[in-house]
Structure 1
Amino acid sequence: MKAILYEHFGMPDQLKFKDVPNPEPLENQVLIEVKACGVNFPDLLIVQNKYQIKPELPFSPGGEVAGKVIGMGKKVTHLNIGDSVLALCGWGGFAEQIAVNQDRVFKIPAALDPKLAAATLYNFGTSYHALKDRANIQKGETLLVLGASGGIGLAAVELGKIMGAKVIAAASSSEKLELCQDRGADLLINYEEEDLKSRIKELTDGKGVDVILDPVGGKFTDAAIRGMAWKGMYLIVGFASGDIPKIPMNLPLLKGCEIAGVFWGQFSKIEPDKNAANLDQLTHWLIEGKIKGPIVKEYPLKDAKGALMDLQERDHIHKSVIIVS
């Protein structure tokens, strides 16, 4: 089969398109014919050896696969040959086939386009877990989304509206904010041109925001947490800026607020039933058209390095998807 391989850690332009042996599933694994694979920020970190997941070399990146079951080990019980599935594989998805442990494979409706599944469910699964399971966001609360035009952020904007929140989208350009507005954001902040803390206060009549979802980190974290309402919730999702901020611990004391980590990958392993229920809800919203999802840019498998290089620029407003078969 064909696959995109890293033979040593480095930059995206070092990827190689090669023939490799077809995988053989172990007794608790599912063999998947890959239809599409989403491209996400952790993929970029993994190939540079900067992520908590560190695969053995050589490996294929790609942790969000949609496809069809074509084989399985004898201990697999909840799936059948021919099922449409989403697999959260960590890596290995930039390939024509992949063998994945059965607890990381989730059945999805056959009516759901694999491209849409691969473009949507990783980011929406993360944001839904953050807002539902960690923040328990309530109708009428105010949600501030940092990096709101990115994959996680845009998902949070859409889900926040579905869940009844008033959504403030914060991003770095007018083009990005227009996309957020199209996805339902009520209020907008350009944090490269406006003072984030002051604008939060202005837009909330001095009250502050109830929930902040932060997949960016870096220089905006301090200003954002200073704009929290009493007993608010700060959701730490990631550090796309490349800078892990140090939060002065007097701030949560003065705000009476909580800071919660959001690690969807670990949640999906430790609480698989809750995660499966979340994915089921998301797929229904997708099929019903309640979720628009991202603007998708497609790449054939042989050009997958272009998708990672595009992601590295961080100035795009689309979601890259590798179309495999």
Structure 2
Amino acid sequence: MKALFFEKFGGPEVLQYGEVPDPTYGSTDLLVQTTLIGLNFADIYRRQGTYHIEHHDPWINGYEGIGQVVGVGKDVTDYKIGDRVLFVDVPFANAEMVRVPAASAIKPPTTISDELAVSIGLQGLTADFLAHDLAMNHPDEKVLVYGVSGGVGQILTQILTADKVQVFGVASTAEKRELGLQNGAQRVFSRSGEWIDQFAGTFDTVFDGAGVTLNQSFELIKHRGKVVFYGMAGGQTPKLDPVALLAASKSLLTGDLWDYLTTAAARQFRFNCLLRYIEHHQIKLSQPTILPLSKGRQAHELMTSEQNIGKILLKP
């Protein structure tokens, strides 16, 4: 099969496209022929060698995709050849064929396209987890979302808005700030930060996926407020003083999505919850950018350029 792979960690230039052996699969697995593959920021960190990646020779990146079942393990009863499945946490996805544990597969309905299913997959489940497992905001509370126009940020903003939460955002460009407003944010600030002093102590919750801004996030929340930390898109986190948090009754909340979605039923239930937002026209996504899997270098460069809006998908 053809795959996007690399033999050493580094920049986009280490990525290669070519033939690798087909994956083998076991009695509880599916063999899936991918039609679209999702690119996520974690894939950038994995390529750089700063984030966990499953061992493979050569390294094959990617954990998210959608496709058709072309092989079924003998102990699998819920799937058959030809079924369409989505997966969001299965390694070696940057390939034409992927071994998918049946317990990790999600069944998207026929009413949504491959593009929509994979665009809302990992980022949608993450946004739902942040909103409903960690933050648990009440209607009319004020929250701030860093990267409001990013993949998670767009969906999170729309979920919170549908839940009657007042959303504010931060984005790097005028175009991205406008997108945040279109998605329901009441106001979107520039990343330059001239607004911070004015809004210190304003928000019930700050959703921080940048990492480097954690101290700033704590300045922006009220007493008894919460910072929900879910990523390091901007770089390493600063050191935090827990005594200072204690004095102002401020909380840091974080977690691993997969500590919450521990079964196939839980994954399917959460995905179905996302679909209800879509069915009620409460979540709309920007058009994805689709590039051939062979153009993986360009896809990685686009991901880190801050010029892209919407999901980046790779097509085998």
Q: Scaled by the length of structure 1, what TM-score is found?
A: 0.90
Sequence identity percentage: 25
Distance 2:288 2:16 in 1: 24
Distance 1:284 1:163 in 2: 13
Residue 311 of structure 2 aligns to a residue whose secondary structure is strand
Query: Hey, what does 1:275 align to over in structure 2?
Result: 267
- More off after superposition, 186-195 vs 159-168: 186-195
- More off after superposition, 51-60 vs 151-160: 51-60
Instruction: Specify the code of the residue in structure 2 equivalent to 1:257.
Output: K
| 1:221 is aligned to 2:214 | yes
Residue 252 of structure 1 aligns to a residue whose secondary structure is helix
| 1:35 is aligned to 2:29 | no
Distance 2:55 2:259 in 1: 17
Residue 233 of structure 1 aligns to a residue whose secondary structure is strand
Structure 1 gaps, min length 5:
202-206
8 Å CA contact 2:142, 2:167 repeated in 1: yes
2:250 to 257, 266, 270: 257
Give me the CA root mean square deviation. Answer: 1.9
Residue 178 of structure 1 aligns to a residue whose secondary structure is helix
Query: Hey, what does 1:309 align to over in structure 2?
Result: 301
Instruction: Specify the code of the residue in structure 1 equivalent to 2:178.
Output: E
Query: Hey, what does 1:200 align to over in structure 2?
Result: 199
Query: Hey, what does 1:96 align to over in structure 2?
Result: 96
Residue 35 (structure 1) shift: 1.1
Distance 1:255 1:248 in 2: 12
8 Å CA contact 1:33, 1:96 repeated in 2: yes
Query: Hey, what does 2:50 align to over in structure 1?
Result: 50
8 Å CA contact 1:216, 1:241 repeated in 2: yes
1:153-186, CA deviations, whole angstroms, 9 ceiling, x for partnerless residues?
Answer: 2221111111211001112222221111111111
Distance 2:150 2:307 in 1: 9
Residue 236 of structure 2 aligns to a residue whose secondary structure is coil
8 Å CA contact 1:120, 1:294 repeated in 2: no
Distance 1:228 1:289 in 2: 30
Distance 2:147 2:9 in 1: 27
Residue 123 (structure 1) shift: 0.9
Residue 177 of structure 1 aligns to a residue whose secondary structure is helix
Query: Hey, what does 1:235 align to over in structure 2?
Result: 228
Query: Hey, what does 2:203 align to over in structure 1?
Result: 209
Query: How many residues are matched?
Result: 316
Distance 1:262 1:157 in 2: 19
Residue 51 of structure 1 aligns to a residue whose secondary structure is coil
Query: Hey, what does 1:80 align to over in structure 2?
Result: 80
Q: Scaled by the length of structure 2, what TM-score is found?
A: 0.93
Distance 1:302 1:191 in 2: 34
TM-aligned CA distance change 1:251 to 1:208, over 3 Å: farther
1:113-171, CA deviations, whole angstroms, 9 ceiling, x for partnerless residues?
Answer: 11112122211110110110112222221111012222122221111111211001112
Structure 2 gaps, min length 5:
none
Query: Hey, what does 1:119 align to over in structure 2?
Result: 119
